[in-house]
Structure 1
């Protein structure tokens, strides 16, 4: 399963990249807006992300107008072979995907809430079909059942579109994605940090260190050789 960081913050990107688990970055207009200030505009932020990331970078269009989606998608695509264009699965978004399909542009069909939206994205040969897990759960439905259903549908018809779990609030949702056979997840910095942490792990590590420190200094010869 691919793991993406849902962030445009370079410090967060570099920190998670240190752990060897990062396959790429996803962004959206809301995420980018948090990083804009007097010294950083959107062009600079996006170019900096592409420069720092060894993997896919997913950048989203900022309009729901058909012609603007096409224009922005071409601009995003021009940034590099590792850059994926994110397009929401609105009616205009789907029409744009249909037009872009023949141009070989890789699309992440995003803001998916139902199996039928995912099916429509796969029919348009989207590279990814991104499902908003927490938003589905918050509406009283089961995101786990939704991604299970999508996985079954894609398998039944040998559809190549990858399923991505997004809008993730806790590590349990990442586990559920793995159980359902989801191809990728994207999660915020805090959740990816939680993947590596467990109080029992830290307790045992501290015990190992304390026991080592009880050995007389003149007997700690192994690492001094």
Structure 2
């Protein structure tokens, strides 16, 4: 099981990395913009996250054409050996991903919503796909069933399912219970996963007892 922080907020993500609570960091253009940054900040973010111990750092390439997307992806790939380039699962994105994989660049195809896309991603040898669990549920589909079937398709291949848009600790645990081993979530969700009220009561009782030993 590997958890990732889905954020570009350095002050929020760095403590999770330094404390060894997450394996790495994911982002996309929407997250970068939400957190008040631009593509020009990506090299700095990579260095900060890598220095804090991130093992995998996912950053997304954009471009109005296939060539522009490939150029952006190549720049991101040059950041360092911990980067994994994200490209959207569009027809152009699949073609760009295939070219990157031929160059031994690690790739994640993002915004994957169909089983057919999952199959194509495995065929070209992508490292990961990222279905957006919350958005699948919002669309009225059974998100758990769809993600589970993606996982089944990819099980014999090198391609892994990294589930994004996981909005609650319960959603993360349910996905894990059904075989999902890679999950990315915003920092508040990751922090909430560490807390249970009964645990807090038990910990307080332990402290009260041990305080009497002093």
Give the TM-score normalised by the residue count of structure 2: 0.91
How far apart, in 2, do the equivalents of 1:26 and 1:42 lie? 12
How far apart, in 1, do the equivalents of 2:166 and 2:49 lie? 21
How far apart, in 2, do the equivalents of 1:54 and 1:174 lie? 20
SS of residue paired to 1:145:
helix
How far apart, in 1, do the equivalents of 2:143 and 2:182 lie? 15
Give every structure 1 segment of 4 or more consecutive aligned residues whose post-TM-superposition deviation is greater than 6 Å.
Answer: none
How far apart, in 1, do the equivalents of 2:154 and 2:193 lie? 28
How far apart, in 1, do the equivalents of 2:154 and 2:207 lie? 49
Task: Within 5 Å, give how 1:94-113 maps onto structure 2.
Answer: 94-113=94-113
How far apart, in 1, do the equivalents of 2:36 and 2:16 lie? 21
How far apart, in 1, do the equivalents of 2:18 and 2:49 lie? 15
Contact 1:147 1:180 in 2 (8 A): no
Match of 1:223 in 2: none
Cα RMSD after superposing both structures: 2.0
Match of 1:84 in 2: 84
Matched, 1:136 2:112: no
Q: Structure 1 residues 154, 44: closer, same or farther in 2, change over 3 A? A: closer
List alignment gaps of at least 5 residues for structure 2: none
Q: Deviations over 1:109-158 (max 9, x none)?
A: 11111211111111111100111000000111111101111122223xx2
Contact 1:64 1:93 in 2 (8 A): no
Task: Within 5 Å, give how 1:106-185 maps onto structure 2.
Answer: 106-155=106-155, 158-185=156-183
Q: How many aligned residue pairs are there? A: 213
How far apart, in 1, do the equivalents of 2:178 and 2:153 lie? 12
- The CA deviation at 1:16 is 1.5
Give the TM-score normalised by the residue count of structure 1: 0.87
Contact 2:5 2:22 in 1 (8 A): yes
Rg: which structure is higher? 1
List alignment gaps of at least 5 residues for structure 1: 221-225
- The CA deviation at 1:187 is 0.6
- The CA deviation at 1:64 is 4.6
Task: Within 5 Å, give how 1:1-225 maps onto structure 2.
Answer: 1-36=1-36, 41-155=41-155, 158-213=156-211, 215=212, 220=214
How far apart, in 1, do the equivalents of 2:106 and 2:113 lie? 21
User: Quick check: 46-55 or 107-116, which moved more?
Assistant: 46-55
User: Quick check: 70-79 or 25-34, which moved more?
Assistant: 25-34
Q: Structure 1 residues 177, 205: closer, same or farther in 2, change over 3 A? A: same
How far apart, in 1, do the equivalents of 2:159 and 2:42 lie? 29
Q: Structure 1 residues 206, 148: closer, same or farther in 2, change over 3 A? A: same
Contact 1:77 1:83 in 2 (8 A): yes
